[in-house]
Chain A
Amino acid sequence: GAVVSQHPSRVICKSGTSVKIECRSLDFQATTMFWYRQFPKQSLMLMATSNEGSKATYEQGVEKDKFLINHASLTLSTLTVTSAHPEDSSFYICSARLRLGGNEAFFGQGTRLTVV
């Protein structure tokens, strides 16, 4: 099956610094990737839709200047949390949709971000 790899799996950073999270589709091309955020014991909330070669589409309430998304190739999307604060601590998960259609999205393993 299709594999999506997310890196790093865990990261701890200091307040005010920036953190980059990578999402790669290993064995397929993905024109569209999605970034979700999960608060403890809660569901996944869609943050943004990342489209290869164009600007990401952010959900209402998500700060685009704080959560920078780049989808430079058909196999890689990155999420950068800029000037991180403790309230940004969360579990971030990406997913990728097969280029040639199909409704199934394949999820990465997630990244646990802790801002101290």
Chain B
Amino acid sequence: GDSVTQMEGPVTLSEEAFLTINCTYTATGYPSLFWYVQYPGEGLQLLLKATKADDKGSNKGFEATYRKETTSFHLEKGSVQVSDSAVYFCALSDGNAGKSTFGDGTTLTVKP
């Protein structure tokens, strides 16, 4: 079945540091890939997405590129802020069934 493997956390960075959270996936067919962010006590917010190989999703300074050859979708941000502290989930969506498969989540803490 489909699976998503995400870099283990927690990750602690200083403000303005560079962020990378690794994500690789296993899937049959051609899934869409997503990054979601979850702030404490809240639901999921879509951060960015990519629907086909070589697509780059971007939002709020975050970027991720759909790499089919390495089955990866790593999340990056050039300069993190304290407000970026949250849990980040990598996910894929099965095109046929529509259900989402999530990674384990990575907790990011950004210190001033």
Q: Which residues of A contact B (CB under 8 A)?
A: 6, 32, 34, 41-44, 46, 49, 93, 95, 97, 103-110, 112
- Across the interface, A103 reaches (CB within 8 A) one of B42, B45, B98, B104, namely B98
Q: Which residues of B contact A (CB under 8 A)?
A: 31-32, 34, 36, 41-46, 49, 51, 89, 93-95, 97-105, 107
The 7 closest A-B pairs by CB, nearest first: A103-B32, A110-B43, A109-B43, A97-B98, A103-B93, A107-B44, A43-B104
- Across the interface, B89 reaches (CB within 8 A) one of A34, A44, A108, A109, namely A44
Query: B99 to A103, Cβ gap below 8 A?
Result: no
Query: B41 to A46, Cβ gap below 8 A?
Result: no
User: Are A95 and B100 also in contact (CB < 8 A) when A6-B43, A103-B32, A103-B51 are?
Assistant: yes
Cross-chain pair count, CB within 8 angstroms: 56
Cα separation A106 to B98 with both chains bound (whole Å): 11
Query: A110 to B42, Cβ gap below 8 A?
Result: yes
Query: A108 to B43, Cβ gap below 8 A?
Result: yes
Cα separation A32 to B45 with both chains bound (whole Å): 19
List the B residue with the shortest CB-CB distance to A49.
B99
Cα separation A107 to B45 with both chains bound (whole Å): 7
Give chain B residues whose Cβ lies under 8 Å from the Cβ of A6. 43
Report the minimal beta-carbon distance from A72 to chain B, rounded to whole angstroms: 19
Query: B43 to A105, Cβ gap below 8 A?
Result: no
List the B residue with the shortest CB-CB distance to A32.
B98
User: Are A43 and B93 also in contact (CB < 8 A) when A32-B98, A34-B99, A104-B32 are?
Assistant: no
Listed by A's residue number, 30 A-B pairs whose Cβ atoms lie within 8 Å are A6-B43, A32-B98, A41-B105, A43-B89, A43-B103, A43-B105, A44-B44, A46-B101, A49-B97, A49-B99, A93-B43, A93-B44, A97-B98, A103-B32, A103-B51, A103-B93, A103-B94, A104-B32, A104-B34, A104-B49, A104-B93, A105-B93, A105-B99, A107-B43, A107-B46, A109-B42, A109-B43, A110-B43, A110-B44, A112-B41
